[in-house]
Amino acid sequence: MLTTRIIPCLDVEDGQVVKGVRFEALRRAGDPVELAKLYNEQGADEIVFLDIGASYRSRRTMLEVVERVSDCVFVPLTVGGGIRNIQEMRDALNAGADKVAICTAALETPELINEGAARFGSQCIVLSIDAKRVGDRWHAFAKGGRLDTGVDAVDWAREAERRGAGEILLNSIDRDGTGTGYDLELTRRVADSVSIPVIASGGAGTLDQLYQAVVDGHADAVLLASLLHYQAYTVADIKRYLKQKGLHIR
């Protein structure tokens, strides 16, 4: 049985961790280095660092912050936000990232997935999909959730796997920051359509919703922000609960 991973997410803008609702109304949640240290100590399996302003402001990922985070975190670190080409992938990896997450750039140039996987290995390439329901489908959005590409999110996940992506970070824009639970139908459709791991993101508000993401949504990992940043629970609390529910937790 595969281990379910618990992954805190640090959304960073202007050097501070922020959290909003559906990618809007951002409020500060703390210092990225201090929060990374805390979650590392609490037993996080991995940490995701996203420079959320980078893609639509054409700003390079804040590599100095990545370096500071990687110095104090001893679990795998995924870095994303505005990574547009192979050199920027290399820069992030050299700054201490174990994986790079790409979203807008991959939608604009899908071959970037192939090239990144060929250069650094599929295990380093995470396709981040910001998905929003449109009618009876979900579209992949670009530019920090601002641009509807019209691309079907489930089809895009399949294509990314074919191109060499090693993992899917699936975020529901509709659920993001709402605390109403993950979009289980979206998560299940994507997870059932690919053989690579899928990380559920967007909407966690209770511990049972994390359990549902794995059991009903078929996710391999859960991404968390608000539940942790505002100290509703610790990573250890979450792991204890999920173990009691029968999940295989590290």
List Cα–Cα distances, 44 to 32, 77, 161, in angstroms: 15, 11, 26
Left, alpha or beta for 68 (phi > 0: left; psi -120 to 50: alpha)? alpha
Q: What is the token pair recorded at 209?
A: 């919703």
Q: Which residues are catalytic?
A: 11, 130
205 Cβ contact list (under 8 Å, min separation 6): 178, 179, 180, 181, 226, 227
Q: What is the token pair recorded at 226?
A: 């608000």
| Interstrand relation of 198-201 and 24-30 (parallel, antiparallel or unpaired) | unpaired
CA distance 54 to 144: 8
Question: Please, are residues 3 and 250 in contact by the beta-carbon 8 Å criterion?
Answer: yes
